[in-house]
Amino acid sequence: MINSTDVTFFIFAAYFDSGMLKYFYFLMVLSLYIFIVGINLLLIVVISRNRSLHEPMYIFLCSLFVNGLYGSTGLFPSLLVQILSDVHTVSPTVCFLQMYCLHTYLAVEFLTLTIMSYDRYIAICYPLQYNTRMTADKIATLIAATWLYPLLACIVIIYLNSHSELCGNTIYKVYCDSHSVVKLACSNGYIANMYGLFASFGTISFALVFISYTYLKIVQVCFSGSKQTKQKAVSTCTPHLASLLNFSFGCFFEMLQSRFNMNNVPNMLRIFLSLYFITFQPLFNPVLYGLQMSKIRSICKNLVFGKI
């Protein structure tokens, strides 16, 4: 048995020799990364610099876009290096750092979508009390909680994984994640695995129950409300539900890849499924909300084309 501190590198076994196509893949991934960074930064600047967008919904969106940048930066630079490299290895330090970034990204994304459902619930079910309930202090507390809890909880995951006794160093993915390292543990990976399962199950269960409750109340209000209330619910809840479903879709793919044997699935498809949650969500959110919300569209046009 070897301790993780004795492992000098991890091997990414999911990569394959693509020959000269690697330069094409590199340009594709680089273009995607540049576009994700550009569009998320644009919307962050638009929201932060325009007082008319300093409302709870847009502030939560800004947190979502910041998290998209954070998660993308945890994956894409390493992915670009590995695509061009002939030896697909990574140091333990970089591996655990990437693991921390991706796990915190997942948790922050899910929790941010959860508090956004609460915001929609207050706006639709208690419109006259919205400004008194969604105060600046409450918004700051909610955003701080969605970031601090994952950042602290994932430190424990990294600590447990980095102190596990490993019997190998081959990760059958194109990036580092907790479950892949836990599977390399000889004996004491049980604690890390149980902690990861408990933290994930607790966070997901709380979020799903809370989101279900808020949307149940929204549906009840819509059935008994006016046509204007229904239109408001549809226009503001549709992007949120689309983002939530897209993210859940990607996480489901990732869970299939991690927990079940998918050797019969083509390698390219497995890589695509494992990367979906981190590549498409940061792209999906700004495009979806940028197209859906006329106020953001208008300000973006003015900013891009130089109109005052």
Sorted by where each starts, the structural domains of the chain and their CATH numbers stand as: 2-304 (1.20.1070.10)
**β-bridge pairing 2-3 and 165-166:** antiparallel
Instruction: Check if the beta carbon of residue 195 is closer than 8 Å to that of residue 202.
Output: no
Alpha-carbon distance 36 to 73, whole Å?
A: 10
Mean pLDDT of 201-228: 87
Q: What is the pLDDT of residue 308?
A: 45
Q: Nearest 5°: CA angle at 65, between 64 and 69?
A: 120
Q: What is the pLDDT of residue 34?
A: 95
The yes-or-no verdict on residue 196 having pLDDT over 70 is: yes
Which amino acid makes up residue 57?
A: M
* Neighbouring residues of 229: CB distance < 8 A, sequence distance ≥ 6: 124, 221, 222
Question: What count of other Cβ atoms lies within 10 Å of the Cβ of residue 84?
Answer: 10
Q: What is the pLDDT of residue 1?
A: 43
Q: Is the pTM of this model over 0.75?
A: yes
Q: What is the pLDDT of residue 260?
A: 67
The yes-or-no verdict on residue 236 having pLDDT over 90 is: no
The yes-or-no verdict on residue 219 having pLDDT over 60 is: yes
Q: What is the pLDDT of residue 2?
A: 44
Tens of pLDDT, residue by residue over 64-108, are: 999 999 999 999 999 999 999 888 899 989 999 999 999 999 999
pLDDT-derived band at 148, boundaries 50, 70, 90? very high
Q: What is the pLDDT of residue 150?
A: 93
Q: What is the pLDDT of residue 307?
A: 52
The yes-or-no verdict on residue 3 having pLDDT over 60 is: no
